[in-house]
Structure 1
Amino acid sequence: MRGLRGVVASVFAAPDRALVAVLGLIISFAAFYSSGVGVFDETISRVGTLGVAMALGLLAFPLPGRIGRAVDILLLILGVVIFWRYFQIGEALEEGLYDFTTSDLWLGGMALLLLLDLTRRIFGWPLVIVCGLTLVYGLYGHHLPWIFRHAGFPYYETLRTVWYSFDGVFGGPVAVVTSLILIFVVFGVVLEGIGAGPVLLKMAFSVTAKLRGGPAHAAIVASALFGTMSGSVAGNVVGTGVFTMPMIKKRGFSAKFAGAVEAAASSGGQFTPPVMGAVAFIMADVTGIPYLTICIAAAIPALFYYASLFASVAVNASRLGIQPIPDSERQAMTRQDWVLSLTFVLPLLVIIGLLIAGRSPAVAGFWATIAAAVLGFILNPDLRREPQRLLAALAQAGRAGATILVAVGAVGMIIGVMNMTGLGIRFANVILGLSGQSLFLALLLTMAGCLVLGMGMPTVPAYLIIVLTMGPAIQGLGVPTLVAHLFVVYFGVLSSITPPVALAAFAAAPICGASPMATAVESVKVAIIGFIIPFVFVYNPSLTLMVDFEWGEFLWACLRLVLAIWVLASGLGGYDRARLDLPSRAVRIVSGVAMLMPGGLIEFAAFAAALVMLGFDWRRGLAASPPGFAALAARFGWKQA
Structure 2
Amino acid sequence: MVNKNDLNEQELLAKYDREAAYRTNLKKWAWVITIIAISLTFFQLYTALKGSYVSMIQGAIHLGAGLSLIFLLYPVKRSLIKNPGIAWYDVLFAFLSLGCNFYIIYNYEWLTTRALTTGFSTLDVIVASLTIALLLEATRRAVGLPIVIIALLAIAYGLWGKYIPVFGHRGFSWEGLVRRLVYSDNAIFGIPIQISSTFIYLFLFFGVMLTKTGIGQFFNDLAFGATGRFTGGTAKAAVSASALQGMVTGSSVANTVGSGSFTIPMMKRAGFKPEFAAASEASASTGGQIMPPIMGAAAFIMAEYTGIPYSQIIIIAIVPAILYFSGVFMGVHFEAKKSGILGLPKSELPSFKSLAKRADLLLPLFTIVGMLFYGYTPTYAALWGILVSFLVSLTRKDTRMSIRDVFQALEQGARVALPVIAACASAGIIVGIVVFTGLGGKIAGGILDLAGGSFFLLLFFTMFACILLGMGLPTTANYVVTASMAAPALLEFGVPVIAAHMFVFYFGIVADITPPVCLAAYAGAGIARANPMKSGINALKLAIAAFIIPYVFVYNPVLVLEDATFSTFTPVLLTALIGMTAISAAMMNYFVYKPLFVERIMLLVSGVLLIYPNNLVFSFIGLVLLVSIGTIQHFRKKSHLNQKANA
Runs of 4+ aligned structure 1 residues displaced above 6 Å come to none
Cα distance in 2 between the residues matched to 1:110 and 1:231: 32
Superposed displacement of residue 334, structure 1 = 6.1
| 1:137 equivalent among 151, 157, 165 | 157
Residues 1:85 and 2:100 aligned together:
no
Counterpart of 1:392 in structure 2 is: 408
- Judging changes above 3 Å, is the alpha-carbon distance between structure 1 residues 617 and 68 closer, same or farther for their aligned structure 2 residues? same
| 1:354 equivalent among 371, 389, 392 | 371
The 10-residue stretch of structure 1 (65-74 or 22-31) with the greater mean CA deviation from structure 2: 65-74
Deviations 1:76-105 (A, max 9, x none): 232233223323432313552352223332
Superposed displacement of residue 418, structure 1 = 0.6
Which residue identity does 2:370 align to in structure 1?
G
Cα distance in 2 between the residues matched to 1:465 and 1:499: 22
Residues 1:177 and 2:200 aligned together:
no
Superposed displacement of residue 550, structure 1 = 2.6
Given that 1:194 and 1:390 are in contact with CA atoms closer than 8 Å, whether structure 2 keeps it comes out as: no
Counterpart of 1:460 in structure 2 is: 476
Deviations 1:222-272 (A, max 9, x none): 111111111322111111111111111111111111111111111111011
Counterpart of 1:308 in structure 2 is: 327
Cα distance in 2 between the residues matched to 1:625 and 1:415: 62
Cα distance in 2 between the residues matched to 1:129 and 1:513: 33
Given that 2:223 and 2:238 are in contact with CA atoms closer than 8 Å, whether structure 1 keeps it comes out as: yes
Given that 1:339 and 1:379 are in contact with CA atoms closer than 8 Å, whether structure 2 keeps it comes out as: no
| 1:369 equivalent among 369, 383, 386 | 386
Counterpart of 1:417 in structure 2 is: 433
Counterpart of 1:447 in structure 2 is: 463
Residues 1:21 and 2:37 aligned together:
no
| 2:360 equivalent among 342, 351, 362 | 342
Which residue identity does 1:131 align to in structure 2?
A
Cα distance in 2 between the residues matched to 1:364 and 1:441: 41
Cα distance in 1 between the residues matched to 2:95 and 2:108: 20
Counterpart of 2:278 in structure 1 is: 259
Cα distance in 2 between the residues matched to 1:278 and 1:169: 17
Equivalences for 1:41-56 in 2 at 5 Å? 41-56=54-69
Cα distance in 2 between the residues matched to 1:388 and 1:123: 29
Deviations 1:462-504 (A, max 9, x none): 1111111110111111110011111111111111111222221
- Judging changes above 3 Å, is the alpha-carbon distance between structure 1 residues 90 and 441 closer, same or farther for their aligned structure 2 residues? same
SS in 2 for 1:51: helix
Which residue identity does 2:55 align to in structure 1?
E
Superposed displacement of residue 625, structure 1 = 5.6
Which residue identity does 1:219 align to in structure 2?
A
Deviations 1:578-612 (A, max 9, x none): 21111111111122113322462433323322222
SS in 1 for 2:472: coil
- Judging changes above 3 Å, is the alpha-carbon distance between structure 1 residues 230 and 481 closer, same or farther for their aligned structure 2 residues? same
Superposed displacement of residue 322, structure 1 = 0.9
Superposed displacement of residue 68, structure 1 = 6.9
Which residue identity does 1:610 align to in structure 2?
L
Given that 1:46 and 1:170 are in contact with CA atoms closer than 8 Å, whether structure 2 keeps it comes out as: yes
| 1:475 equivalent among 459, 466, 491 | 491
Counterpart of 2:585 in structure 1 is: 570
Cα distance in 2 between the residues matched to 1:88 and 1:347: 39
Residues 1:32 and 2:52 aligned together:
no
Cα distance in 1 between the residues matched to 2:639 and 2:477: 53
Counterpart of 1:4 in structure 2 is: none
- Judging changes above 3 Å, is the alpha-carbon distance between structure 1 residues 346 and 333 closer, same or farther for their aligned structure 2 residues? same
Deviations 1:497-550 (A, max 9, x none): 1122222122222111123222222211111122101111112222223x1113
Given that 1:577 and 1:625 are in contact with CA atoms closer than 8 Å, whether structure 2 keeps it comes out as: no
Counterpart of 2:610 in structure 1 is: 595
| 1:272 equivalent among 272, 291, 299 | 291
Cα distance in 1 between the residues matched to 2:642 and 2:250: 43
Cα distance in 2 between the residues matched to 1:24 and 1:393: 10
SS in 2 for 1:228: helix
Cα distance in 1 between the residues matched to 2:532 and 2:346: 34
SS in 1 for 2:87: helix
- Judging changes above 3 Å, is the alpha-carbon distance between structure 1 residues 13 and 493 closer, same or farther for their aligned structure 2 residues? closer
SS in 2 for 1:603: helix
Which residue identity does 2:446 align to in structure 1?
V
The 10-residue stretch of structure 1 (14-23 or 415-424) with the greater mean CA deviation from structure 2: 14-23
Tell me how many residue pairs correspond in the alignment.
614
Question: What is the aligned-residue identity percentage?
Answer: 34
Cα distance in 1 between the residues matched to 2:281 and 2:148: 27
Which residue identity does 2:103 align to in structure 1?
R
Counterpart of 1:637 in structure 2 is: none
Which residue identity does 1:548 align to in structure 2?
D
Cα distance in 1 between the residues matched to 2:545 and 2:398: 44
Counterpart of 2:531 in structure 1 is: 515
The 10-residue stretch of structure 1 (511-520 or 115-124) with the greater mean CA deviation from structure 2: 511-520
- Judging changes above 3 Å, is the alpha-carbon distance between structure 1 residues 196 and 382 closer, same or farther for their aligned structure 2 residues? closer
The 10-residue stretch of structure 1 (82-91 or 58-67) with the greater mean CA deviation from structure 2: 58-67
Cα distance in 2 between the residues matched to 1:125 and 1:363: 35
Deviations 1:50-86 (A, max 9, x none): 1001111111113336997021122123223322332
Given that 1:456 and 1:496 are in contact with CA atoms closer than 8 Å, whether structure 2 keeps it comes out as: no
Counterpart of 2:550 in structure 1 is: 534
SS in 1 for 2:107: helix
Cα distance in 1 between the residues matched to 2:296 and 2:139: 19
Cα distance in 1 between the residues matched to 2:285 and 2:265: 16
The 10-residue stretch of structure 1 (616-625 or 50-59) with the greater mean CA deviation from structure 2: 616-625
Cα distance in 2 between the residues matched to 1:504 and 1:468: 26
Which residue identity does 1:310 align to in structure 2?
F
The 10-residue stretch of structure 1 (477-486 or 436-445) with the greater mean CA deviation from structure 2: 436-445
Cα distance in 2 between the residues matched to 1:95 and 1:190: 41
- Judging changes above 3 Å, is the alpha-carbon distance between structure 1 residues 228 and 58 closer, same or farther for their aligned structure 2 residues? same
CA RMSD, 1 decimal: 2.3
Given that 1:576 and 1:618 are in contact with CA atoms closer than 8 Å, whether structure 2 keeps it comes out as: no
Given that 2:142 and 2:418 are in contact with CA atoms closer than 8 Å, whether structure 1 keeps it comes out as: no
Deviations 1:335-388 (A, max 9, x none): 3x5444422x1112111222222211111111111011011112344525x332
Deviations 1:550-570 (A, max 9, x none): 323212212211221221111
Cα distance in 1 between the residues matched to 2:560 and 2:410: 35
Given that 1:195 and 1:380 are in contact with CA atoms closer than 8 Å, whether structure 2 keeps it comes out as: no
Residues 1:620 and 2:636 aligned together:
yes
Cα distance in 1 between the residues matched to 2:397 and 2:192: 36
| 2:121 equivalent among 90, 93, 101 | 101
Counterpart of 2:225 in structure 1 is: 206
SS in 1 for 2:135: helix
- Judging changes above 3 Å, is the alpha-carbon distance between structure 1 residues 149 and 157 closer, same or farther for their aligned structure 2 residues? same
Cα distance in 1 between the residues matched to 2:96 and 2:360: 47
Given that 1:209 and 1:330 are in contact with CA atoms closer than 8 Å, whether structure 2 keeps it comes out as: yes
| 1:188 equivalent among 186, 190, 207 | 207
Residues 1:503 and 2:522 aligned together:
no
Cα distance in 2 between the residues matched to 1:39 and 1:120: 29
SS in 2 for 1:167: coil
Cα distance in 2 between the residues matched to 1:425 and 1:621: 57
Cα distance in 2 between the residues matched to 1:382 and 1:597: 48
Which residue identity does 1:581 align to in structure 2?
L
Given that 1:454 and 1:466 are in contact with CA atoms closer than 8 Å, whether structure 2 keeps it comes out as: no
Equivalences for 1:105-254 in 2 at 5 Å? 105-146=125-166, 148-254=167-273
Cα distance in 2 between the residues matched to 1:354 and 1:174: 24
Counterpart of 1:8 in structure 2 is: none
SS in 1 for 2:419: helix
Cα distance in 2 between the residues matched to 1:567 and 1:76: 54
Which residue identity does 2:369 align to in structure 1?
I
